[in-house]
Structure 1
Amino acid sequence: MITVILSFLLAANPFIITDEDEVIEKLSQEDFMMSYLDSPFINNQKLELQMEVLTEKIYKDPINARLADNGRIIKEKPGLTLDRLKFKKQFYDYFYNGEDRAVEVPKRKIYPRVDSELISEIREKELGSYVTYFKSGNKERTHNISLAAEAIDNHVVFPGETFSFNKVVGKRTKERGYKRAPVIVRGELSEDYGGGICQVSSTLFNAVELRGIKIVERYSHSRSVPYVPPGRDATVSWYGPDFVFKNKYNQPILIRAFAKNGQMVIKILSSDSL
């Protein structure tokens, strides 16, 4: 019992966590203490919450390798997150033994799903492509088309993986840069943020209608659209229809999407060994 008391006296100072010499957290032993019989224990629920806070402060998304417009490969960049096992050990040593009162926050790398080697392999063979046309003078609609095309460009769909247009492109809002433009709602023309992106999903549908692609979900507009033949469109809406397909090839596929000079171009690429 004397050993326990002495260890807590030693650990009375705060647990200081730094990141690149900047203090990002100061923790107190008392904040995490649970009394159980005559011995103190760590409140692990509070410790887990604290680790979530630290993770938010230091987290960096990994960045996939991608192809530039000129075909050059832009290398991947690993992300960072909290190394929870190392942090727990450091905090336990502090809590029970009075050790490591000031520590550099332990991090571990998060490796991206798509690296340069994979990109170099799956850019070799064109499986399919499709082009549609739009009036570039309609600035708002053109802007929305460009944003959605950028969101799906360089996206890799692995074997057996499902691609969801809504999930990949995300919610079309003013905060995310989308503008109000004409949309079709229940057969009538209206205006909403993201108007025009159905041309991107429709172009993608026509590009991926291949032997090794299974169309999981696809809906047509309630009236014909001018950029694809009747019945060849794929309408999407954040709270409604989605366009979803599954890669049934034994190799990943790479989506390239370009919107410029009044053309919406999508190419589907993969490995020569496909």
Structure 2
Amino acid sequence: MKDLGPLKYFLGIEVARSSAGLFLSQGKYTLDIISESDLLGAKPSGFPMEQNHKLGLASGVPLSDLEQYRRLVGRLIYLAVTRPDLAYSVHILSQFMQEPRSENWKATLRVVRYLKATSGHGILLNSDCDLNLQGWCDSDWATCPLTRRSLSGWLVFLGKSPISWKTKKQHIVSTSSAEAEYRSMAAITCELKWLKALLLSLGVQHPKTIKLFCDSESALHIAKNPIFHEQTKHIKVDCHFVRDAITKGLISPSHVPTNSQLADIFIKSLGKSQFDYLLSKLGVSNPHVPT
């Protein structure tokens, strides 16, 4: 056993300390990805994935070198540990590991060109933290063109710092957008419950009700309505789970406008202006670049 001093670099993650808090980034790892992709001289991209893409229906030429695609996407998956802005792109690209096509490869290289413009980005774990949890959840209904399963995305803050996020395709087909939103709400409720227990094991009490922001009025109505209607019986388990959390004071769901929904960045490809706006709210930035 050796005391190696203050943490600065571990498994590709760089840690910078200041009075503002801990800044986590993977700058060297990012530059290695760009260099390995032979894109050091390429034109940077302003956002990782083009809007209204049709990658799920790609019909181009299958790639001859599957290992190259799988290796690059695998490295992007690890990079997303400190880059929530990559969560959606990595989720989409990782679905084509078995038979990637030319369109998928081009989309992957676009993500690398985005990294070229944001190689120093990371997340700040703010020292000015009240240790209160806050959740944001959203869904994109029937977004998969092949299975019509919906996409869930959620984000959890501890104080002002993002500590947990996820983009995931739902397990079954939802028959309405409200149902898809409600499943996302149930998923983040499970995560918030676990995080609260984790904080307690570390000696951090969290007596306050956790704020949960959702942009679906229908899902919020289902969560607060104690009566089961015929249309909601097929999601009865999720209904009980979320309502129990509300009754016990674990969460307090409230509505947020769609254009201010932070979890929107985890469920769809956005234009540059909206992407940059949500990115600034997430706290993803490069502290070494003057603003």
Flag whether TM exceeds 0.5 (same fold): no
Choose between structure 1 and 2: higher helix proportion. 2
Choose between structure 1 and 2: higher strand proportion. 1
TM range (shorter): under 0.3
What is the TM-score of this pair, normalised by structure 1?
0.27
Bigger Rg over Cα: 1
